[in-house]
């Protein structure tokens, strides 16, 4: 699971527990100016992921790490698709972050509010 917070002018995604190992990342920091939006998307876990490089993918169990699809790089950290949040990015290494959070609606509201400031 990931914890998403806003610190100053950055969106910070911190991986918890073993998800750090599976995703091969412990923290991502993205300037809020590069965040295009966030949505709760429980159906995304069933969509094609692309090529894993590097990362972990055990269908129905976990998708974590960097995946390449249609010329885009997407960061995944999802076990329970019902708790998935998609953060769309611009001018960043990743075009999207797909992460599992404790309360998707709360995280989406926080990101959207931070973007309006």
**How many residues in total does the chain contain?**
117
Return the residue matching tokens 């959207």: 112
Give the per-residue pLDDT at 54. 87
Write the pLDDT tens digit of every residue in 7-43. Answer: 999 999 999 988 888 888 999 999 999 999 999 999 9
Pairing of strands 10-15, 2-7: antiparallel
Residue 112 is predicted with a pLDDT of: 94
In this predicted model, what pLDDT tens digit does every residue of 54-66 receive, in sequence order? 888 888 889 999 9
- Say if residue 90's pLDDT is above 90: yes
Separation CA 70–CA 79 (nearest Å)? 23
In the chain, where are the structural domains located?
2-116
Q: What is the pLDDT of residue 47?
A: 85
- Rounded CA Rg of the chain: 13
- pTM score, two decimals? 0.92
Residue 48 pLDDT level (bands cut at 50, 70, 90) = confident
What is the distance between the alpha carbons of residues 85 and 22, in angstroms, rounded to a whole number? 18
Closest CA to 29 of 13, 45, 8: 13
When pLDDT is averaged across residues 58-81 and rounded to a whole number, the result is: 92
């Amino acid at each position: 699971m990931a914890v998403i917070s806003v610190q100053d002018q950055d969106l910070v995604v911190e991986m918890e527990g073993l998800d750090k190992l599976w995703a091969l990342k412990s923290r991502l920091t993205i300037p809020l100016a590069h965040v295009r939006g966030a949505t709760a998307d429980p159906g995304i876990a069933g969509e094609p992921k692309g090529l894993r490089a590097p990362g972990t993918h055990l269908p129905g169990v976990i998708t974590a790490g960097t995946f390449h699809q249609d010329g885009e790089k997407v960061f995944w950290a999802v076990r329970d698709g019902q708790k998935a949040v998609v953060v769309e990015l611009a001018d960043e290494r990743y075009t999207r972050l797909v992460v599992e959070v404790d309360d998707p609606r709360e995280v989406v509201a926080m990101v959207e509010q931070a973007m309006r400031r």
